[in-house]
A and B are shown apart, each in its own frame.
Chain A
């Protein structure tokens, strides 16, 4: 990604504002994991993990880690009051059945209609899709967090994804270090510009057609 810790946290903090009371939420690996730090406990959110926890809490204190209590990335976690454990079929049953209010995940490419590519670079990196396809296709709301461009400065928000898809028309929102974008009826809208960037910066670094419809606080 090549983004600094501060930028990553800025994106995560903005994403957390999309979380509302009582939601069941799944956070992917990378910047999405940081979102948990910005969700107030007063929202009574239930964090879901693919490996079988509903009601995941924060990281344990050093020395209190338990090898059998971890997130989907294998790192130690805690549980909140009211949490439950279940098997992998049930973990995805609740997703397919439509109980997952929000999933926040990373992406390699997205397009203006909400197609997401995030699990394979053929011939180079083939990690497998894990639960990404299940989550992106079945969550009620899908937010993509990523750097606006590649390390080489090329757009990642494209007219058409070049990589194999994770989901077709799955994303509802894209948040990058430059902008917040909403996808509605197959069209991409620029709704917020992040500090230090202009509308022109965002348009010039986005290949997909972008409708400018700034709303609310403009943070720059």
Chain B
């Protein structure tokens, strides 16, 4: 079977101004090794699509803290004060979507659809500037699909073809984002042999994955760990 096992050292795919979609929810399920690789590459002026801005030292939040992001598409930035600061100073453009709408826009991109029809946020500022349509007598906003130059995700187990399974609540946006990248890199905790994953239990099919790399592990401390340490 075709193997997508890669080393980040051999990938020359990053460029200034590119759009990167990053899996994870509050940094849980974000790919630490790929994020550090992007930081080390020096690329900047990025558009980041992510459920949230992580924390200043966690997940995609690191890219915000290091001012590599010029535009952020997310549902929430409250856990990353650095993102709020940059938004208010005008350094960072932020586009908010309701969390479920953002997930579906990404899913639509990954599933080859043009967009979705959604009524969440009608009657609020969410509907401002949105194209609307009526289907079966109900009003919906037309929300275009989202894709990205690069999608980066984290998983628990991967086989060389890129079939993936996830770990508990670290799944979150990863399977959606996996399918929405023009190029997708999956960072796995464990690289297993072809045939060792149960086909019934594979969550992301390898066809969506371009590169599989092995994780060096989470290199940040969670908020609850820091609190516990005082």
Which A positions have Cβ atoms within 8 angstroms of B? 49-53, 62, 65-76, 79, 85-89, 91-93, 95-96, 123, 125-134, 137-138, 164-168
Contact of B169 among A85, A126, A132 (CB under 8 A): A85
Contacts A74-B28, A164-B124, A168-B124 given; does A85 touch B168 at CB 8 Å: yes
Q: Give A21 to B78 CA distance when docked, in angstroms.
A: 34
* Nearest Cβ on chain B to A134's Cβ, whole angstroms: 4
CB–CB B79/A74 < 8 A: yes
| B51 and A127 within 8 A (CB) | no
Is there contact, CB below 8 Å, between A92 and B104? yes
Encode contact with A along B107-131: 1 for CB under 8 Å, 0 otherwise.
Answer: 1000000000011111111100000
Interface bits B43-64 vs A (CB < 8 Å: 1, else 0): 0000000011001000000000
- Assess whether A95 is in contact with B171, with CB atoms less than 8 Å apart: no
- Closest chain-A Cβ to B150's Cβ sits at a distance in Å of 19
Whether A128 lies near B96 (C-beta < 8 A) is yes
CA distance A75 to B103 in the complex (A): 22
Contact B167 A133 (CB under 8 A): no
Bound-state CA distance A167–B26 (Å) is 24
Q: Give the CA-CA distance A72 to B143 in the complex, in Å.
A: 24
Q: Which of B26, B100, B106, B167 has the most CB atoms of chain A within a 10 A radius of its CB? A: B100
Task: Tell me whether B175 is interfacial, beta carbon within 8 Å.
Answer: yes
Which secondary structure dominates where chain A touches chain B?
Answer: loop
Q: Which of B9-17, B190-198, B208-216, B221-229 contacts A (4 or more CB under 8 A)?
A: B221-229
Return B112 CB to nearest CB of chain A, in Å.
Answer: 15
Neighbouring A residues of B175 by C-beta, 8 Å: 87
Q: Pick the contact of B76: A53, A86, A128 (CB < 8 A).
A: A128
A–B pairs, 19, beta carbons within 8 Å: A51-B25, A51-B28, A51-B172, A52-B25, A67-B218, A71-B169, A87-B175, A88-B173, A88-B176, A89-B100, A126-B94, A128-B78, A128-B94, A130-B76, A133-B120, A134-B100, A137-B121, A165-B123, A165-B124
Set of chain B residues within 8 Å of A167, measured between Cβ atoms: 123-124
List chain B residues, Cβ under 8 A from A96: 100, 118, 120
CA distance A153 to B77 in the complex (A): 29
Q: Which of A73, A74, A129 contacts B98 (CB 8 A)?
A: A129
Residue contact B104 to A85, C-beta cutoff 8 Å: no
Q: 6 nearest interchain CB pairs?
A: A92-B100, A127-B78, A168-B123, A131-B99, A68-B170, A128-B76
Q: Which residues of B contact A (CB under 8 A)?
A: 25-29, 51-52, 55, 74-79, 84, 87-88, 94, 96, 98-101, 103-104, 106-107, 118-126, 156, 166-176, 203, 218, 222-225, 228
Q: Are A134 and B171 in contact (CB under 8 A)?
A: no
Q: Is the pair B76, A127 in contact by a Cβ cutoff of 8 Å? A: yes
Asked whether, in the complex, the Cβ of A138 is within 8 Å of the Cβ of B120, the reply is yes
> Are A95 and B100 closer than 8 Å at their CB atoms?
yes
Distance, CA A73 to CA B25, complexed state (A): 9
**In the complex, what residues of A have CB within 8 A of residue B156's CB?**
68
Q: How far is the CA of A134 from the CA of B166 in the complex (A)?
A: 25
In the complex the two chains form, is A87's CB within 8 Å of B173's CB? yes
**Known contacts A51-B169, A88-B173, A89-B104; is-contact A131 B98 (Cβ 8 Å):** yes
Asked if B99 contacts A92 (CB within 8 A), the reply is yes
Please name all residues of chain A whose beta carbon is closer than 8 Å to the beta carbon of B27 when the two chains form the complex. 74
Query: Contacts of A89 on B, CB cut-off 8 Å?
Result: 100, 103-104, 106-107, 176
Task: Give the distance in Å from the alpha carbon of A120 to the alpha carbon of B170 in the complex.
Answer: 27
For A87, what are the chain B residues with a Cβ–Cβ distance below 8 Å? Answer: 103, 171-176, 203
Contacts of B125 in A (CB 8 A): 164-165
Instruction: With a 10 A CB-CB cut-off, give which of A70, A72, A76 has the most chain B CB atoms.
Output: A70
A59 to chain B, nearest CB (A): 10
Looking at the assembled complex, report how far the CB atom of B165 sits from the nearest CB atom of chain A, in whole angstroms. Answer: 11
Chain B residues within an 8 Å CB radius of A125: 84
Of B28, B74, B98, B222, which one neighbours A133 at CB under 8 angstroms?
A: B98
